[in-house]
Chain A
Amino acid sequence: MKTINRYAHYLFTLPALLLYAVFFLYPMVNGFLYSLSDWDGLSKTSHFIGVDNYVRLAQDDRILNSLGFTFKYAFGLIVLTVVLAVLIAVLLNRVRRFQSFYRTTYFIPAVLSMITVGLIFNQLFSQALPAFGKAIGSDVLSRNLLSNPDWAFFGLLFVSLWQGLAIPTLLFLAALQSVPKDLIEAASLDGATPWQRFRSVVIPFLIPTLNIVVILSAKSGLTAFDYIMAMTGGGPGRKTESVGLLVYNFAFQEFKFSYASSLAIILFVIIAIVSIVQIRSMSRLEVNA
């Protein structure tokens, strides 16, 4: 009887563990094994070729091009998400009238599916914006920005921010409300300016949330796929081919399935490193309340 009690809590983790194993560990191990073969996704047979795929990855121009785009995109997404989400949260926190109306409005994009948002904006970029551009006589705006090599990047970034800001804003809003009122009051009695109050009192309370937000947006930036698939398909040319899309293209368009698996494993390693570095460096700044 006693033994059951002692180990019971392990039993409760079993469902989650099982789900994790079936949907995460098994595919990952399997994917790694595929990455060591030459399977094309079509044949019934494949051969073990060791690390050949990884060697080829290192020499492929498209990988570099795609990593360059992905990092630029992820960086832009992280910085803008944090800055804009904090800004919006601070403003929403100050609103006194129609509070819940504003909060709901800013949250609405989060309940839509990414592909839906991508397709809607695809239409806006290809039909509505050019019509507007023609009306104001702008040459750049009267063409589809998503096919303009200089603007496609910003078009994608804009759409991911439009939708991606909702949840970070909500998280920051919650964090702002956890800042003790008495601390702020004390600071203002000591003569701190509003900016000093924000910097020295509010921000330390935002750090744990900031941590989460940076990790979440780094992850969504590095694995960007849905919007790109729906809006540019990686184009013009290969200008917006993110690593996530490249994995998909290798596997399902070009029939290099195991090559795609090895790229996916590399992507996993990159995200793991980024997350570890990020958690380590940020946790030092947290407030120990």
Chain B
Amino acid sequence: MKNKKLWIISVLALVLVVAGCGGKSSGGNAGEAQGANQGAGKEEQVTIEIFNQKSEVKDYLNQIIQNFETENPNIKVNQVQVPDSRKVLYNRLASNDAPDIMSIFPNESDFRTQAGSDFFMDLTGSDVLANINPQFLEGVKVDGKDYSAPLTMNAYGIFYNAAKFNELGLKVPTTWAELEQTAAAIKEKGSIPFATSFKASWSVGHLTEALLTNAVGYETADKFFQDPAAKADSDPSIQKLLAQMDFIGANSQLDAAGADYPDAVNLFATGQALMLPQGIWAVPVIEQAGMEDEYKMFPIPNDSGNGVVVGGIDYALAISANTKHPEEAQKFVKFMTEQQTAQFLADNEKSPSTITGIKADAPQTEDVTKLLSEEGRFYPWLHFNWKAGLDSSWGTETSAYLILNDKNALLKWINQEFGK
């Protein structure tokens, strides 16, 4: 009698533990089973998941999903949007739990590595991409194949407070020398020339890549990183970049070292700083910070007076190679590329569209985004050609230089990581 009890208790304890461990996955199974049951019914209901990495798009995407579901009552689309999405997505891919559709950044080396491992559905020549301007597909092919549907673009430049510029009688600078004069004039009037955020190392990474591309031209800069013989200590490109970084550092707010991205945006939106080097993705954040003055954007000046815009594909979707519902997933991605949807996205999210015939109406950024389609005025980010993960280290090291001013540490790091 006693022994029996003992057995029962220990078995019960074991069951409890096992049940606790399996809690999550059994929940998932239940959900799937439900989906399957519905599928067995007359309506053939299918649920697909879209993993969205851009929080800025979330609300508009929900609207689009609603429209899609009205058109396709048998397909239900679930949007998933989590913080730190890149890590979550990569972990899900690595553990064979890929979402049906996911937003990715198709220019990045990490995406290309994953595409090489057959994580994504090959869309080459498929009807899904028919509405996309082929010019934009060219840059995101992996081994000549299309694994993603690019939908919008991003671009980098310098925001400026147009109202204050007028008030102070400042002209929009086109050459680097003019930028230096403008900064000096702003300083003289008691304002801060640049709002920067050295604490957000990614923002410094973007800034320095865009500076370098403009300082020496894309080809020279790109070649420098690919060429093992070009050492950072003696290379004129890097010397020029360092000088420009010193200039930006000297003309930023006092505590740029301690400022994070929202701090810099705030400084600009409250009119304390008159220029903000940032990508067009900052527009919603600037608006949120309560910007009242009119603001616009100019490309980073260079010596020729024809500053180039650096950018890449911003919002893009890929379909999992192992999705259980390939047709439905393709149908949704196709829906995203249709005129009506793309126009809706462009009108609200304001990023330039890759869909043929769609124009985003965004006066704040148009001086920069109009260059995206101009020959020789637009170049991709330098790090698209780097090893996966080097872009974030580049940001850390360049921000370290701006804060600690240790030139040799940066040069040594560049030599080491780029195999020089």
Interface 9-residue window, one of A3-11, A178-186, A196-204, A280-288: A3-11
User: In the complex, A238→B201 CA distance in Å?
Assistant: 11
User: In the complex, A234→B393 CA distance in Å?
Assistant: 12
Interface 9-residue window, one of B74-82, B227-235, B254-262, B363-371: B254-262
Tell me if A253 counts as interface (CB < 8 A to partner B).
yes
Chain B residues with Cβ below 8 Å from A147 are: 198-199, 255, 257-258, 403
Given A19-B17, A42-B388, A44-B119, A144 and B396 touching (CB < 8 A)? no
Q: Say how far B122's CB is from chain A's closest CB, in angstroms.
A: 15
Tell me if B114 counts as interface (CB < 8 A to partner A).
yes
Q: Is the CB of A235 within 8 A of B117?
A: no
Q: Is the CB of A14 within 8 A of B10?
A: yes
Question: In the complex, what residue of chain B is closest to A241 when comparing beta carbons?
Answer: B396
Tell me if B3 counts as interface (CB < 8 A to partner A).
yes
Interface members, chain B 6-25 (any A CB < 8 Å): 6-7, 10, 13-14, 16-18, 21
Q: Is the CB of B117 within 8 A of A42?
A: yes
Partner of B13, one of A15, A40, A148, A255: A15
Question: In the complex, what residue of chain A is closest to B255 when comparing beta carbons?
Answer: A143
Interface members, chain A 40-71 (any B CB < 8 Å): 40-45
User: In the complex, A4→B3 CA distance in Å?
Assistant: 7
Can you list, as one digit per residue, whether each of B107-122 has a CB less than 8 Å from chain A (1) or not (0)?
0001001101111000
Tell me if B411 counts as interface (CB < 8 A to partner A).
no
Tell me if A164 counts as interface (CB < 8 A to partner B).
no
Partner of B406, one of A4, A40, A142, A237: A237
Question: In the complex, what residue of chain A is closest to B111 when comparing beta carbons?
Answer: A42
Can you list, as one digit per residue, whether each of A2-36 has a CB less than 8 Å from chain B (1) or not (0)?
00110010011011001100100000000000000
Chain B residues with Cβ below 8 Å from A238 are: 396, 400
Interface size on B, residues (CB 8 A): 45
Q: How many A-B residue pairs have CB under 8 A?
A: 120
Can you list, as one digit per residue, whether each of B386-419 has a CB less than 8 Å from chain A (1) or not (0)?
0011101100110111011010010000000000
Question: In the complex, what residue of chain B is closest to A44 when comparing beta carbons?
Answer: B117
Partner of A43, one of B114, B260, B404: B114
User: In the complex, A12→B393 CA distance in Å?
Assistant: 49
Interface members, chain B 181-239 (any A CB < 8 Å): 198-199, 201
Interface members, chain A 214-237 (any B CB < 8 Å): 233-237
Select the residue from B258, B401, B406 with max chain A CB neighbours within 10 A.
B258
User: In the complex, A130→B117 CA distance in Å?
Assistant: 49
Q: Say how far A130's CB is from chain B's closest CB, in angstroms.
A: 7
Q: Say how far A241's CB is from chain B's closest CB, in angstroms.
A: 9
Partner of B110, one of A5, A145, A235, A255: A255
User: In the complex, A42→B403 CA distance in Å?
Assistant: 32
Q: Is the CB of A126 within 8 A of B260?
A: yes
Q: Is the CB of A236 within 8 A of B13?
A: no
Interface members, chain B 287-327 (any A CB < 8 Å): none
Interface members, chain A 109-144 (any B CB < 8 Å): 125-126, 130, 142-144
Secondary structure at the A interface, as helix, strand, loop or mixed, is: loop
Chain A residues with Cβ below 8 Å from B401 are: 237
User: In the complex, A44→B396 CA distance in Å?
Assistant: 28
Q: Say how far B268's CB is from chain A's closest CB, in angstroms.
A: 17
Interface members, chain B 233-276 (any A CB < 8 Å): 254-255, 257-260, 263
User: In the complex, A252→B118 CA distance in Å?
Assistant: 20
User: In the complex, A255→B10 CA distance in Å?
Assistant: 44
Partner of A144, one of B17, B18, B93, B259: B259
Question: In the complex, what residue of chain A is closest to B119 when comparing beta carbons?
Answer: A44
Question: In the complex, what residue of chain A is closest to B257 when comparing beta carbons?
Answer: A147
Can you list, as one digit per residue, whether each of B375-391 has a CB less than 8 Å from chain A (1) or not (0)?
00000000000001110
Given A15-B14, A42-B90, A254-B392, A142 and B6 touching (CB < 8 A)? no
Tell me if B94 counts as interface (CB < 8 A to partner A).
yes
Interface members, chain A 129-185 (any B CB < 8 Å): 130, 142-149
Q: Is the CB of A149 within 8 A of B403?
A: yes
Q: Is the CB of B118 within 8 A of A126?
A: no
Q: What would 25 A/B residue contacts be, using CB atoms closer than 8 Å?
A: A11-B6, A11-B10, A15-B17, A18-B14, A18-B17, A40-B113, A42-B113, A43-B116, A43-B117, A44-B117, A125-B258, A126-B259, A126-B263, A143-B258, A144-B259, A147-B199, A147-B255, A147-B258, A235-B201, A236-B198, A237-B396, A252-B90, A254-B393, A255-B110, A255-B389
Instruction: Give A residues with C-beta under 8 Å from B.
Output: 1, 4-5, 8, 11-12, 14-15, 18-19, 22, 40-45, 125-126, 130, 142-149, 233-239, 252-256
Which 4 A-B pairs have CB atoms at the shortest separation, nearest pair first? A144-B258, A237-B400, A254-B389, A147-B258
